[in-house]
A and B are shown apart, each in its own frame.
Chain A
Amino acid sequence: MTAGFEKHKIIIEESIGRLLSRAENARALGAGEIRPRVEKALGKYLFKDNENANAAEIRAFIDELRADDLCLVLACERGDETAWNDLVATQDKTVKAAAWKISPKAEDADDLASSIWAELYGLKHDKDGNLKSKLSYYSGRGSLGGWLRAIVAQLAIDQFRKTSKFVQVEEAREFENLANESSEKTENLAVVAHTDNPEDIFGEKQMARDVSKALGAAIQELGDEDRLLLKLYYFDDLKLKEIGQMLGFHEATASRKVVRIQTEIRKSVEKILQNQHHWSEEEVKRYLSETASKLGISLEKLVAVLIIFALVQEVLHGNVL
């Protein structure tokens, strides 16, 4: 990586010069102050995956950095009061807005925003006695606002994980006990048929475990992008349009991908259940069908309620049509 920097030293310097010239307010920064941050970003995002990146790629990478945002952050790190004032003036609204969206209570939101600013300013000192600020992680690759929003989300989720009982999510449960958990929850009684026969109950739980494992394995067989797309869609409730924007393709493409992924998962699950768990073809089809239909009913009800709620909201806000 260092070899890459030395090899393309001139290109990097030229690109940094252009970056400074691109900035509307360079905050009196010199190339020497910017170069370490630029090289860090190059190493992290470019040379790590491609040590032989050529001059054009390096030039393009640096030219795509957010010059003004990076200069502002570097000036703040340097202790420029004006830069800090500018940072607070321009980004405080962004931080608070994100905090308010992610925190259910106003007090929590204010606390979260305050925590963000404290971390940006720096609470700890490094071995040299300098304040260790989160600003040092900003590369300029994305926008400063987007980075701050990610900081807010990161801090909020980390705080939530610390205080909640969902720490086990961190553990590798691999879709454990999908149907088994469902059968234990009163509201999900419909998912798995219940009998009073202990042998039947055991059999149902075993089948649920088999399906859960097969489902997890099928998802793991997917490509990285398909897996991410699937989870963003099913687990994080992002819309196909949003997923498409994030991953760089059209909503229609995202929809086609979801359909294809479903098909692949079905095939994989059926294959795993039959080959590894020795289910018959009839058992596979019946189980998937029954489970899906029982889940589907509740989903339809949920969708109907949501539609009515949305309509009422639309009417109340005067946004009909």
Chain B
Amino acid sequence: MDFEFDKEIDAILRKARGDDAAALSSAHLDADDIAAFAENALPAAARGRYTAHFADCARCRKILSNAFVFNAEADAETASSAVSAPTTEAGVPWYRRLFAFPQAAYAMGAMVLLFSGFFGYLILQNLSGASNEVSYSANSATNTAAPAPERPPAAMSNSNASTSANTTTTNTPANTTFQGGSTNSAANPATNSARLSTSNTATAATPSADTLSQAESNAPVAEVQPMATPAPKPQVLDDADKNMAKVAPATPLSKDNPNAAGATRQRNERDKEESYSVDGSSDSKTSDEKAKTARAVPTQKKKRDSGAGEQRSVGGKTFNNVGGIWFDSAVGKQKQKTVRRGTSEYQKLDAGLRSIADSLGGTVVILWGGKAYRIQ
């Protein structure tokens, strides 16, 4: 209903309300007339007559308007009281009730709390993330500093970044230096990372032969840790694994390393233990099965570890991960022959060697047949 009201006349008429005095009527209408008119219950002719009177009689019109308002209010009250409470509830749509004052206020309050909580959570998340980073850095620094407390704080702090770098760039050992030594208890694999002091200025592209041999001679066995997590039962082996299993018992370490015999014996014992821990089988297992078990463990372990500072035993050999490169503990000062996987030269290598290299993955420095190979 959008009608163009004449605002000028409208305002003047509103002002003129107090001056309405047209209304002197010799005979005012009685209540019955007024009530019947208000209820629109008069015949048309009578209605016209009363309309003229009401139009000119302020008193009767005032009574009429009052009576009409009373009737309207009474009807509204009657209607509201006649309607039962549940019906009233049902009559109001749920979305109207939702926006009714108390509900709307509660909803608004809840929204404010919700958003406050959300933002607070975000802030706490950011803060805790930062603190986690700090604590992680502190832990890393502690681990790094524990075996070498003489390192300056700057070096410790640098170790954080370099540690993470090592975990991600396992094939780039340029900045790593292996520091095996007398202080290495090797009881905890985590401490191996402590022995990996990283230095951005280090230039050694490959581990020092001295340090490698020293590490091997000092702790050839204790460095090898039983798997913390039981490996699943050995799966069906492929041909390469079978070949490896055949080759593994004939590890020729004793030829090159005087300590190799004892180390091999201890490794065999350790393999035995691992095989127990893996599948719970008895001593009656064949050496092939043990070899399978021994290779199954690193396969699982490889999934968990990123490599740095880790030690694995594959095919009867012990490998240390130094900067992402697996070094055979038996490798000494021999000249390394670099062979790339996938090349014909690699295919010509012994199947056992290839199996070990494939099992470890990445760059592997291994002593095989008295020769040192660098498999990339």
Contact = CB atoms under 8 A, between A and B. Distances in A.
Interface in A121-173: 134, 137-139, 141-143, 145-147, 149-154, 156-158, 161, 168-173
B9 A228 contact: no
Interface residues of B, number: 67
Nearest to B70: A149
B9 A265 contact: yes
Contact of A235 (B20, B48, B59, B63): B20
B61 A142 contact: no
Q: Which of A191, A228, A231, A321 has the most CB of B within 10 A?
A: A231
Contact of B39 (A49, A143, A269): A143
Interface string A278-321: 00000000001101110110010000000000000011001111
A248 B40 contact: yes
A210 to B, nearest CB: 13
B80 to A, nearest CB: 14
A178 interface: yes
Interface stretch (B27-35, B144-152, B161-169, B194-202): B27-35
Contacts, number: 249
Interface residues of A, number: 96
Contacts of A141: 32, 35-36, 41-42
A115 interface: no
Contact of A291 (B11, B19, B48): B11
Contacts of A4: none
Contacts of A246: 37-38, 40, 64, 68
The 6 closest A-B CB pairs, nearest first, are: A49-B45, A292-B8, A173-B21, A227-B55, A153-B66, A262-B6
Given A142-B41, A153-B62, A231-B61, 14 more contacts: A170-B21, A172-B22, A178-B15, A191-B15, A227-B56, A231-B20, A246-B38, A246-B40, A259-B5, A262-B5, A269-B9, A292-B7, A295-B14, A320-B99
13 contacts: A64-B41, A137-B31, A137-B32, A146-B38, A151-B31, A172-B22, A224-B52, A232-B64, A232-B65, A236-B61, A236-B62, A255-B3, A263-B6
Interface of B: 1, 3-24, 30-32, 34-43, 45-46, 48-49, 51-52, 54-56, 58-59, 61-74, 96, 99-102, 104
